[in-house]
Structure 1
Amino acid sequence: MQEVGARARRRIGRRLLPFLFLLYIIAFLDRVNVAYAALGMTEDLGFSPEVFGFGAGIFFIGYFLLEIPGALLVEKWSARGWIARILITWGIATVVIGMVHTAQQFYWARFFLGMAEAGFFPGIIVYLTHWFRAADRAKAVALFMAAIPISNMIGAPLAGVILGVDWAGLPGWRWIFFLEGVPAIVCGVITIFYLTDRPQQARWLPADERDWIMAELEKEKREKKARMHFSVWQALRHRDVLLLALVYFLAVTGSYGVSFWLPTILKQLSGLSNLTVSLISAAPYVLLLFTMILVGWSSDRRQERRWHTAVPLLIAGGALAASIAVRSHLTAAILVLTLATGFIWTFAPIFWALPTAILTEAAAAASIGFINSVGNLGGFAGPYAVGYLEKLTGSTSAGIACLAATLVLAAIVVLSLRPSELAATGRGPGAKPNITAVEQRQRRPRSIPA
């Protein structure tokens, strides 16, 4: 059976992860391409830093509104159908952003892009629980989320090149949205034919491998139900779910604040050309690619989640704070900003292994949607705070200090979460194999896996 299991895991990984990886690259490009378009758009349209920060962040208000229903639809209806719908509508919304002329149009276009993309990320996290065991999940999520640094490594220089064009009398920043919106529409159509909702429907899996993964996932489901059973409403009120939402809000505030403002900050510090700034902006994401994969691998190997989530946040927060002190020294400032950005999203794959380990299907889906929607309000707070504080102070330093503080506070809250009596898989260092199923059912779970 070990040989069958190894074959099944490899086949599932090869079939699903590269395609999901591609989809998330497109998603993240469409989400943050405004950071690079800003190098031309703000000047052409006369947008102030506050206007840009608000427009960049309002995406997440629209995202917030439809996030929980989207995650539940993936669990209850069809991952394939819902993800395809998301891709097609957000591709159209991205193209529309390239047509804006006023601040109000910019706000509305970004808001509707957020609504269009809502449910994509938590839907993918829920979808992975249909195919990967808890013991393999952090690594799978880490490989999927490696699309974040890859998208920036590709998107930054690509945007720098496109900014320099003037096709059909339109400035390059508009072409960034036109050219990066179309792939989402195309991939939405492909998704309908390529993805499979659950293992029992997978004709591309041999029967013995299909039976193995179905049995493994069913066993995990029984084990979770034996020690806990939450309704959707109970899950949303659970202490640890609320704390996880707070952690994600703080971490996302810092992470998106940096992601959206990094090109502008580098432009202010260096005075270099848009293309050069875009190339420099891509460099930190090379480091992020390695830290994401290595930390995800270490977390699965050790079956430990809290410290693997907290330490990258502390490193990123500390490096951001240091960037304020050395901002007058260009090389030093670029180095510490590279370090900060290289760890700023490292927490995410490990973080998302937590709710799927402690909650059963519908409760986990609703909780993932809730955590992601509340947390992504930080995607509004971070960019807007930097723009607003720059308007007040004339410098991005105050905004960067706030972002650093949110990252450190997120790490502190993660470490305040109590390790559970049972590890995520029942085999980790916190497992107590002598506890009977009856005793497990009698215990009210109050904490998360270590």
Structure 2
Amino acid sequence: MRPPARRRIPLPYSPRGFIVESSAQIDERQLISKITWHIVPFVMVLYTIAYIDRSVLGFAKTQMSAEVGLSDAAFGLGAGLFFLAYFLFEVPSNYILPKVGARKWFARILFTWGLITALTALTNSTGLFYLLRFLLGVAEAGFYPGVLFYLTFWFPQRHRTKATGTFVLAAPIAFLVMGPLSGVVLELSWFGLQGWHWLFILAGVVAMIAAVPTLLWLRDTPRSAPWMSDAEATWIETELDKDRLLYGQESHANPLRALRSKYVWVFALLFFPSTVGIYGLSFWLPTVISAFSDSSAETGWLATIPYVFGVIGIFVTSRLAARMSENWIPLIVIYVGAAIGILLAAVAPPGPLQIAAMSMAAFFLYAVAGVFWALPTRYLVGATAAVGIAFVNSFGNIGGFVGPYVVGAVSDATGNPVNGMFFLGAVLVLGAIGAAIGMRAWAGRNPVEATPGVQPDGTRVDTSV
């Protein structure tokens, strides 16, 4: 008896129920390029502002600590309280985001974090410093994972590594901007306020102003974008639907069930070492450099050097990783390279060799995000992805509390913040080991069985007679 004929049937629907006549009339490269230029540069600018607001503290430390009376341990604790609040409020923030829309929610986040950043200029005690840092974390919670979730509305899985890698260029770019500017601003003395006051005021005002173009420019979905045709929006929706079918991506009726997913917890643990390293390095880098520089301006300029390599690292690794089916091997290599750079910085003599080692560390540390986030978004979709990504990022950002605090505690105990780099290096080694274990367990496997009868090109196979 002859086997039943196999008849190839195009995927007949998109998530919104639109009939898909043909995808041949859509130029994929041209459409993805158009989406990228309309969305990614703008959210990069917003994230640059966010990173400046959260990291301006590192440049203000010397003046602020002297005037307010902050010890290194108190500074490290205050820097870390931002991330504790971020951890507590990030999941609720991303739970709300799909309900009100990304455009309005991002604008709200921008305005409130800008206001609190500006108010930090009023700090006159350790207690107020702790309170404002915690409130800044509450205000900004949800922005970074919210953007990552937002990008999943616009980019099919195969394009996300490059899109995410481009977006996270904003982090080192923020330090490239802040380094020279902080050196100039710290020399100011206007209206009875010192340079560190003006750092917080100016950074906060910029964020509040940015809320306005956010409301005017962003659109929540491809279907609501005036610069997208109906055919283009339907193509995006269909490609995202194919990803759900082909990769067996998890989505729950109750998105909070994502917190019970083993994938969410494992990726949260894998992300943790990167934030320990990034924030442990970034908050203390100006302090380390100030030990051998002659002025605030020189410290600012020298502090930009590692972040130049951070930009290069993101650009190179995200594009190399985009050629791979999965990002496990690049993630392992990045963690190993970051650990080596951090440990070399701990043993190198102050000066050019130490900056070179920290530049190597920055090259790899800032490359983590562009490579990492394509992994969890391969396993989670929809509202589940909003909550799952938020939890992964919020749990990982506990490292933003741990890194600065431990380096500060070690600095107080030993008199040298460089000694805290040994701790950062050890955590990054554990990240490489964890990524290797994850690759061995999950590489090439779907979280649930892909839909039976769906071919790799997204077409269905009818096995009926």
TM above 0.5, one fold?
A: yes
Does structure 2 conserve the Cα–Cα contact (< 8 Å) formed by 1:73 and 1:79?
no
* The one of 302, 326, 334 aligned to 1:304: 326
CA-CA distance at 1:396 after TM superposition: 1.8
1:12-411 alignment, distance < 5 Å: 12-225=35-248, 228=250, 230=252, 232-268=255-291, 270-327=292-349, 329-411=350-432
In the alignment, which residue of structure 1 is the partner of 2:15?
A: none
Cα deviation code 1:78-124 (max 9, x no counterpart): 11111110000000010011111111111111110000000001100
Cα deviation code 1:202-254 (max 9, x no counterpart): 111123322222221222234345x6555645532333321211121222112
Does structure 1 conserve the Cα–Cα contact (< 8 Å) formed by 2:179 and 2:304?
yes
The structure that has the greater radius of gyration is 2
Does structure 2 conserve the Cα–Cα contact (< 8 Å) formed by 1:39 and 1:274?
no
Q: C-alpha distance in 1, partners of 2:192/2:150? A: 43
Identity %: 36
For 2:409, what is the secondary structure of its paired residue? helix
Normalised to the residue count of structure 2, the TM-score between the two structures is: 0.88
Q: C-alpha distance in 1, partners of 2:382/2:171? A: 26
Q: C-alpha distance in 1, partners of 2:429/2:443? A: 23
Q: C-alpha distance in 1, partners of 2:196/2:250? A: 51
Check 1:201–1:3 CA distance in 2 against 1; reply closer, same or farther (3 A cut). Answer: closer
CA-CA distance at 1:406 after TM superposition: 0.9
In the alignment, which residue of structure 2 is the partner of 1:445?
A: none
Q: C-alpha distance in 1, partners of 2:251/2:227? A: 33
Does structure 2 conserve the Cα–Cα contact (< 8 Å) formed by 1:8 and 1:212?
no
Cα deviation code 1:379-423 (max 9, x no counterpart): 111101111111112222431100111111112111110234447
Q: Which amino acid is the alignment partner of residue 387 of structure 1? A: G
Cα deviation code 1:308-359 (max 9, x no counterpart): 11212211111111122223x5221121112112221211111111111112
Q: C-alpha distance in 1, partners of 2:208/2:58? A: 22
More helix as a share of residues? 1
For 1:98, what is the secondary structure of its paired residue? helix
Does structure 1 conserve the Cα–Cα contact (< 8 Å) formed by 2:247 and 2:446?
no
CA-CA distance at 1:274 after TM superposition: 1.1
In the alignment, which residue of structure 1 is the partner of 2:29?
A: 6
Check 1:210–1:350 CA distance in 2 against 1; reply closer, same or farther (3 A cut). Answer: same
Check 1:38–1:65 CA distance in 2 against 1; reply closer, same or farther (3 A cut). Answer: same
Check 1:433–1:6 CA distance in 2 against 1; reply closer, same or farther (3 A cut). Answer: closer
Q: C-alpha distance in 2, partners of 1:80/1:222? A: 28
Does structure 1 conserve the Cα–Cα contact (< 8 Å) formed by 2:306 and 2:359?
yes
Does structure 2 conserve the Cα–Cα contact (< 8 Å) formed by 1:303 and 1:423?
no
Does structure 2 conserve the Cα–Cα contact (< 8 Å) formed by 1:292 and 1:345?
yes
Normalised to the residue count of structure 1, the TM-score between the two structures is: 0.91
In the alignment, which residue of structure 1 is the partner of 2:13?
A: none
Cα deviation code 1:48-90 (max 9, x no counterpart): 1111111111111111121012122223431111111000000
Q: C-alpha distance in 2, partners of 1:76/1:342? A: 37
For 2:226, what is the secondary structure of its paired residue? coil
Q: C-alpha distance in 2, partners of 1:260/1:437? A: 52
Check 1:4–1:28 CA distance in 2 against 1; reply closer, same or farther (3 A cut). Answer: same
Aligned length: 431
Check 1:79–1:229 CA distance in 2 against 1; reply closer, same or farther (3 A cut). Answer: closer
CA-CA distance at 1:156 after TM superposition: 1.0
Q: C-alpha distance in 2, partners of 1:124/1:58? A: 22
Does structure 1 conserve the Cα–Cα contact (< 8 Å) formed by 2:275 and 2:399?
yes
Q: Which amino acid is the alignment partner of residue 36 of structure 1? A: F
CA-CA distance at 1:293 after TM superposition: 1.4
Q: Which amino acid is the alignment partner of residue 370 of structure 2? A: P
Does structure 2 conserve the Cα–Cα contact (< 8 Å) formed by 1:4 and 1:209?
no
Q: Which amino acid is the alignment partner of residue 287 of structure 1? A: F
Q: C-alpha distance in 1, partners of 2:363/2:299? A: 17
Q: C-alpha distance in 2, partners of 1:119/1:258? A: 23
In the alignment, which residue of structure 2 is the partner of 1:443?
A: none
Q: C-alpha distance in 2, partners of 1:228/1:267? A: 48
> Unpaired segments of 5 or more residues in structure 2?
1-23
Q: C-alpha distance in 1, partners of 2:64/2:384? A: 42
Q: Which amino acid is the alignment partner of residue 283 of structure 1? A: I
Q: C-alpha distance in 1, partners of 2:54/2:274? A: 17
Does structure 2 conserve the Cα–Cα contact (< 8 Å) formed by 1:139 and 1:349?
yes
Cα deviation code 1:181-200 (max 9, x no counterpart): 11111111221121100111
> Unpaired segments of 5 or more residues in structure 1?
439-450
Q: Which moved more, 1:234-243 or 1:378-387?
A: 234-243
For 1:138, what is the secondary structure of its paired residue? helix
For 1:353, what is the secondary structure of its paired residue? coil
Query: Over aligned residues, Cα RMSD in angstroms?
Result: 2.4
CA-CA distance at 1:306 after TM superposition: 1.0
